[in-house]
Structure 1
Amino acid sequence: MQNGPAVRRRKLGAELRTLRTGAGLTSGEAARLVGWHQSKVSRIETGASGAKPADVRLLLDAYGVRDAQLRELLLMLAGSEEAGDRHRWWHAYRGVLPPTYRDFISLESQASAMRTLETTVVPGLLQTPEYARAVTRAAVTDLDDERLDTLVEVRLARQDVLRTERPLRLSAVLDEAVLRREIGGPEVMGRQLERLMDAARLPQVRLQILPFGAGAHVGLTGPFVIFSFPSTSDLDVVVLDQLTSSLYLERKEDLMAYSEAFDTLRMHALSPEESLDYIAGIGDGA
């Protein structure tokens, strides 16, 4: 288990190693091509040291990588500003957001797909402003109004990933408790349920409800998020949120276990069409 920066460093190094071997080069040959010592290539590939964007660009050129989407992703993992404000808008909030939250937003903005199980609250990408305010106030103690406004603003800005030219594909399984827990009062909750139904109709969103009638399920251990990335599955990562930190799981065994768990949850959940009806019924007081 790693923190966000360590995961990105290791993922970047592993992908660069794959690209080097795909180009038919040894680490020594790659080093000579870019004018480095072989040990620097090795340290980057093992994640022992970070790689500057300029370093990554040199290596990608040496390996003949022309895929623009893959280059952009790897440069962002190295901390490049080239992608512009669309991918790094949260830097304006560095003084407010804890590092673990910034890491999560960074992964979310770079991912092509996100699978999430939520057992307590509506996923941040689908929250209304009023619901987000109520959740944030309950989760973060001693907030003044200005900081609360900023955190809600960030939560809403994150939702832009669903509205870009290449939107994030979101697949969410929500335990029925998410719908039944009245956060912010009946009016706020009513608008939140309407927001869920609107989101569920988007082509890039697949929303399923896991009703109480499904009984015990693998998701009882807690919520999780699986991020998938364009061009390569080797960068995929599982994120487990805790009260004061987040855990990042990157081993293939962990990814497989959580992917299988999510597939099982989807099988036991209502279909997207049935889920829409179910949310509407709860909204109507059924």
Structure 2
Amino acid sequence: MPGRHKAPTLRLRRFAAKLRELREAAGLSHVEAADLTGLDRATLFRIEGAKVRPQGRSLRALLDAYNASEKDRTELSALLKAAAEQTWIQTAASLPSPYATYIGFESEAEGVRNYEILAVPGLLQTESYARAMIKGTAPEASRDEVESRVAARLERQRLLARPDPLKLWAVIDESALLREVGGPQVMHDQMAKLREAAEEPNITIQVIPRSAGAYPGMHGAFVLLEFPGEGHDVVYMEGSTSDLFLESIEDIARYNMLFEHLRAVAAGPDATRALLAVAQQNWKEDGHDGS
């Protein structure tokens, strides 16, 4: 069974990265910093790895050793305080660790750009589609685990309806509209949900039609998470054995460019609405024929 833990928030990761930058700017190694502050070396590694939050006394000792400015001290104190605030996902201990980490990041994002090849994006799935997808892709999951993941997926969708709604731009390969997940009725209802979502001002949906042929990005789905302020964006890719988070400037730039290529090859929003209407009608007819 996958490991479980409280998901580190993006704020804690930012805190850890900033603290590591200050240590390096001071020209200190982990060993030297630990010796200067009396902090256990393993603990310092865990703090810089966003595994634990330091006590206030330990943080003050580290900042003194690094000759941190008042601006840096204020910023780090604010990040540490914010990192202590639990979100709903941090208490959902039954979720796999990488998934919990991703959802924690998503809850702090202001924008999501999601490219999917084989499935409807989780933020746009119906409950029935989500349940069928999870059962099909995670056959080892128990009934309780399946229901926990379904509940988490539906909870995530509340981000799209909050007062300051998450901005979602989804590019979906048409094959996801043709793959039968859960049966014709489930697919019919899923197409209806996509059509409704496409009318929301904070949601843009584009479908890449089969007629597009080969195009950049066919090697794998990904999510670009955008956060307030400059930098700190994250690329997330889900794998069968492990998940991947990319945060370097080079990786973010590469996937930003790739998403622009995908937007260009995909049908525009109006043409996409037409494709979704046809897909919904086709699944209705399939459901009728199969009854």
Q: Letter of the aligned partner of 2:53 in structure 1?
A: K
| Pairing partner for 2:70 from 62, 87, 92 | 62
Q: Does 1:115 align with 2:116?
A: no
From the superposition, tell whether residues 251 and 280 of structure 1 become closer, same or farther in structure 2 (CA, over 3 Å).
same
Q: 1:126 aligns with which of 124, 141, 148?
A: 124
Deviation at residue 39 of structure 1 after TM alignment: 11
Given that 1:7 and 1:250 are in contact with CA atoms closer than 8 Å, whether structure 2 keeps it comes out as: no
1:240 is matched with which residue?
Answer: 237
**1:267 equivalent in structure 2:** 264
Tell me which residue corresponds to 1:150.
Answer: 148
Partner SS for 2:235: strand
User: For residue 181 of structure 1, what is the aligned residue in structure 2?
Assistant: 179
Whether contact under 8 Å (1:53, 1:75) holds in the other structure is no
How large is the Cα RMSD of the aligned pairs? 3.6
Provide closer, same or farther for how the CA distance between residues 57 and 195 of structure 1 changes in structure 2, counting only shifts above 3 A: farther
> Any residues of structure 2 matched to 1:240-259 within 5 Å, and which?
240-259=237-256
CA shift at 1:65, angstroms?
9.0
Tell me, yes or no, if the aligned pair for 1:249 and 1:255 is still in contact at 8 Å: yes
Q: CA deviation at 1:108?
A: 0.6
**What CA distance in whole angstroms lies between the structure 2 residues aligned with 1:54 and 1:171?**
40
Is the contact made by 1:239 and 1:249 (CA closer than 8 Å) also made in structure 2? Answer: yes
Structure 1 match to 2:92? 93
CA distance in 1, matches of 2:201, 2:256: 22
Cα distance change of structure 1 residues 279 and 48 upon mapping to structure 2, 3 Å threshold: closer
Counterparts of 2:108 and 2:139 in 1: how far apart (Å)? 30
Confirm or deny: 8 A CA contact 2:9 2:104 kept in the other structure.
no
Which one has a bigger Cα radius of gyration? Answer: 2
In structure 2, stretches of 5+ residues that fail to align are 1-6, 28-35, 284-291
Distance in 1 between the 2:240 and 2:99 partners? 12
Deviation, 1:128, is 0.3
Deviation per CA, 1:197-252: give whole Å up to 9, x if none: 1111111111100001111111111100111101222x111111101211111111
Q: Secondary structure at the match of 1:122?
A: coil
Aligned residue among 191, 194, 217 for 1:219: 217
Normalised by the length of structure 1, the TM-score is 0.77
Q: Verify the 8 A CA contact 2:172 2:207 in the aligned structure 1.
A: yes
SS at match of 1:174: strand
* Residue 48 to residue 39, structure 1, CA distance change in 2 (3 Å): farther
Shift of 1:166: 1.6
CA distance in 1, matches of 2:14, 2:72: 20
Counterpart of 2:158 in structure 1 is 160
CA distance in 2 between counterparts of 1:187 and 1:181 reads: 13
Q: Do the aligned residues in 2 keep the contact of 1:238 with 1:249 (CA within 8 Å)?
A: yes
CA distance in 2, matches of 1:93, 1:128: 21
Contact 2:172–2:206 (Cα < 8 Å) also in 1: yes
Which position in structure 2 is the counterpart of 1:230? 228
User: Secondary structure of 1:182's match?
Assistant: coil
Q: 1:51-109, CA deviations, whole angstroms, 9 ceiling, x for partnerless residues?
A: 73765997899318999xxx56x755xx31x3x5xxx1023321x11111111111110
State whether residues 181 and 187 of structure 2, in contact with CA within 8 Å, keep that contact through their aligned partners in structure 1: yes
Identity %: 34
* Cα distance change on mapping 1:54 and 1:217 into 2, 3 Å: farther
Per-residue deviation, 1:15: 5.1
Give 5+ residue unaligned stretches, structure 1.
21-25, 29-36
Partners of 2:95 and 2:145 within 8 A in 1: no
Q: Work out the number of aligned pairs and report it.
A: 258
